[in-house]
Amino acid sequence: MTSLLLKNGLLVDPAEDPTRPRRADLLVDGTRIAEIGPDLAVGSDVTVIDATHRIVLPGFVDTHRHTWQAAIRMIDPDDTLGGYLQRILNTIAPNYRPQDIHAATLAGAVEALDSGITTLVDWSHLQLTPEHTDAAIDALRASGIRAQFGYGSPSLAGPDAASTPMPTDIRRVHATLDDPLVTLIIAARGPGFSSPEVARAEWQLARELGVPISVHAHGDDLIDFLRDEDLLGPDILYAHANQFTDKALQTVADSGGGLSIAPIVEAQMGHGQPITGRALAAGVNTGLAVDAMTSTSTDMFSVMRVAYSLERAKTSITSAQILRMATTGGAEAAGLADRVGALRPGMQADLMVLRTDTLSMAPLHDPVAAIVMNADRSAVDTVLVAGRIVKQAGAIAHHNVTEIVERVTESGTYLAKSIGTPR
């Protein structure tokens, strides 16, 4: 077990009051935060990282990302949701080989770490074969990120999707996946992309296995279905929900469910206005997400700015509320708030250290506003996951980035050729 001290950082904790940062030391012992306070005394065996001119905060939580799409990033930037379903899921996705999903998932996860995202809800839904599934899981584990692996059916839009049950290989994965950082969830199609019988079976399987559920949501029909089938619960993470009424949002809040908002994709693809303010007003545990890497920026800084700008045009949402959604709120929405998303002793040491001595960040008048409005990937100096340094002094640790880029580029070239010249 290793110990390290983040010395003299400006601590911003969205789980408390981020507008009242404090300068302190933060001691990490093994995988957890051990102590926080000024001028902590430590032994000579503790690694000390000088966090002067740095902000220390919990790592970002991306509550909905299709990480396998890193190999085809920005291949379809201007399409609608219908075009995305046809072009990406029906046309490109079936051409993925296991080595492609491994290369893309590894590249996407390491890229997330590089930008301060320490937790991913990875909506994989590319379980073409057991080998594809194993490749995705192996890549997540190799990356060093904390992830919920969303096991899902290979296609949302195929002609047989409505009647095809989830692959039974999920039981093997459930029985063999034993990793404190990579855990299993079900990426359910729900009644919007399958028959009621298939949707019911997905929920029953999740409850039988005791794993959480994530589902793409649009209108109240999903909530009506879950209520009628007595399937509502705190183990459900709804993505988007742009057409939910206030009544449906209140049902989600009352049942303890979570919501993932991907403001860039929702605005681009025509889902409708992100319901950021309405969700917060209803008391729903709400996080932010990148979603489809085929058409959006993949860092949380961009997501926060778009979420803030779109909602600020309608309400008086604050930068502190947006920062909370990107961290603590995401942890709550994904059911991980007992582990990540806060700076307090006993929590997992999933942390981000941001530089403030740069042209884009100095002078630092308002740390929260600086994080939400000014910071970008280049400000991310150090990142820890479960106490392990995965980025330090601005450089990714434990990985040959050049090799990762070469592999994902090779896969991307192959996939693009398999469907013809991209638009």
Residues paired with 238 in a beta bridge:
215, 259
Residues 98 and 39 in one domain: no
Render pLDDT for 35-57 as a digit per residue (tens, 0 to 9): 999 999 999 999 999 999 999 99
Burial of 43 (C-beta count, 10 Å sphere; 0-12/13-18/19+): exposed
Q: Is position 264 within any domain? A: yes
Alpha carbon distance, N-terminus to C-terminus of the chain: 50
- What is the C-alpha to C-alpha distance for residues 152 and 136, in angstroms, rounded to an integer? 12
What is the full DSSP assignment across 370-395? IIIII--GGGEEEEEETTEEEEETTE
Strands 60-65 and 117-123: parallel
Indicate if the pLDDT at residue 121 is higher than 80: yes
Is residue 243 very low, low, confident or very high in pLDDT (cuts 50, 70, 90)? very high
Calculate the CA dihedral of residues 210, 214, 217, 223 and round it to 10 degrees. 20
Kindly tell me if the per-residue pLDDT of 230 is higher than 80.
Answer: yes
CATH code for the domain of 14: 2.30.40.10
Comparing CA positions, the residue from 160, 96, 87 lying closest to residue 125 is 96
Specify whether 53 is located in the same domain as 65: no
- pLDDT value of position 423: 44
Mean pLDDT of 372-382: 97
Per-residue pLDDT reduced to its tens digit, 76-103: 999 999 889 888 988 999 999 999 999 9
pLDDT for residue 419: 72
Round the average pLDDT of the chain to a whole number and report it.
95
d(CA 38, CA 191): 53
* Residue ranges making up the domain that contains 293: 60-333
Tell me the one-letter amino acid at 14.
P
Q: Are residues 33 and 92 in the same domain?
A: no
92 shares a domain with 149: yes
Q: What is the pLDDT of residue 384?
A: 98
Residues 106 and 186 reside in one and the same domain: yes
Is residue 275 domain-resident?
yes
The answer to whether residue 387 scores a pLDDT higher than 70 is yes
128 in the same domain as 15: no
pLDDT in tens, 273-329: 999 999 999 999 999 999 999 999 999 999 999 999 999 999 999 999 999 999 999
Enter the tokens of residue 344.
């307090």
Residue of higher predicted confidence among 1 and 378? 378
